Amino acid sequence: MTGRTSIHGQWSSRMAFILAATGSAVGLGNIWKFPYITGDNGGGAFVLVYLLCVLLIGIPIMMAEVLIGRRGRQSPINTMRTLAHEESQHGIWQMIGWSGMIAGFLIISFYSVIAGWALAYVFRTAAGVFAGVTADGAASIFSGLVSDPERLLAWHTIFMVMTMVVVSRGVRSGLEKAVRILMPLLFLLLLLLVGYAMNSGKFAEGLAFLFTPDFSALSAGAVLTAMGHAFFTLSLGMGAIMAYGSYLPKSVSIAKTSVVIALMDTAVALLAGMAIFPLVFANGLEPGAGPGLIFQTLPLAFGHMAGGTLFGTLFFLLLTFAAWTSAISIIEPAVAWLVENRRVNRIKAATIIGVAAWLMGIVTIMSFNSWAFEFTFAGETKSSGLFDVLDILTANIMLPLGGLAMAMFAGWYMSERSTADELDLGEGLLYQGWRFLVRFVAPFAVMVVFLRLLDVI
């Protein structure tokens, strides 16, 4: 046992950490991406594979990342430097921290822009813009937003300020207070939307699509997509969970907590599917509509249903809350590093990182209009220029390698004494099972996904 304490403070309880880490994991990926990739890959069989991947890959790597964070009690960079020294390993391991922090910075720069779309849609839906809209009209409203740099900049600025304000207030007054309010609201909004979908007339059809396995629709590519999404949806590989783990009291069980977080994250994704697919079927829309499902297909559905303006507004409010809880975790490792290494207070650190990410976000904004260009990656044509480059660099390269490196460090380079001490599972079947998964199964799976995404295999 190291006996370290974090200079940033710690969570007041196990539930506070669960809410914060779930908030980090629950983001646009759950509510925006999961429904459309499920639709693209045949529904129930894909969901089953996804759940297995969360169990065998996501949870073991999350446990590894949390235990590394709690062991080091510092920002990811300083934690990796300290633990590498303690375990008599090469200092190169601190590159995990650097990679995660840089990936997080790049992600928050474009994540804020996409979250700005959700924020803009809260007000558009509330104003009744989508009432009675046609498919062409919904597409026109969306293209009108993303092709207008000034409007995108305004929403990007508002969202970034929202994020900076929370992070600047510290662990208990900022991060914890925000998630204690936002996460219960997020679940309440989701349940309201599921209740709304139950009255759509197509709820049973939506459930059947989501939960009835059709293995004939399950391709090798779909299995790899499920594996990749299980990894990314838990916010692994960028140091956010490691940073949150550094604020975790020693008395809290990492294993039990990681399982609860994964279950809550998965529950949000499934509830989002239960809310979305009945509306899609009720309006004769296409469940595999791709990324446009949220910003073009669903507004069309809300525009033609009773109570659609109210529930459409609630949906985009939900999307904004999910993005906000993720954003504060993504920016936290860089802020924590500045506080530790440059001796600045949190307000100044959050301002520096926030403004730098805001400036970087302008690259993404311009990628949807003036700076757009096309290129091909892994057999797919990308048309949003530097935004797609940043997305591929982080999601397809930096995060998988970060998660792989964390699993390898915890499984192969940390002593059994250190990992057993943090996990507190004893040395029996549970601990050895985790060790086997994190040493062999998770690294192999992440490497397969990584190579597949790079079109190597």
pLDDT of residue 285: 76
* Residue of 331, 336, 349, 326 lying closest to 75 (CA atoms): 336
Cβ–Cβ contacts within 10 Å for residue 428, how many? 8
pLDDT of residue 162: 96
pLDDT tens, 298-333? 898 888 888 889 999 999 998 899 999 999 999 999
In the predicted model, residues of the chain with pLDDT beneath 50 are: 1
pLDDT of residue 243: 94
Evaluate whether 400 touches 61 at the Cβ level (below 8 Å).
no
Half-sphere exposure in the Cβ direction for 342 (13 Å, CA) = 14
pLDDT tens, 163-183? 999 999 988 899 999 999 999
pLDDT of residue 37: 83
Q: Cα separation of 7 and 171, whole Å?
A: 10
pLDDT of residue 291: 63
Evaluate whether 257 touches 66 at the Cβ level (below 8 Å).
yes
Q: Taking the complete model, does pTM exceed 0.85, yes or no?
A: yes
Evaluate whether 27 touches 326 at the Cβ level (below 8 Å).
yes
Domains of the chain: 14-453 (1.10.4160)
pLDDT of residue 294: 82
Evaluate whether 399 touches 238 at the Cβ level (below 8 Å).
yes
Place of tokens 């943090």: 422
112 Cβ contact list (under 8 Å, min separation 6): 156, 159, 160, 163, 327, 357, 358, 361
* Residue of 397, 407, 401, 388 lying closest to 453 (CA atoms): 397
pLDDT of residue 3: 64
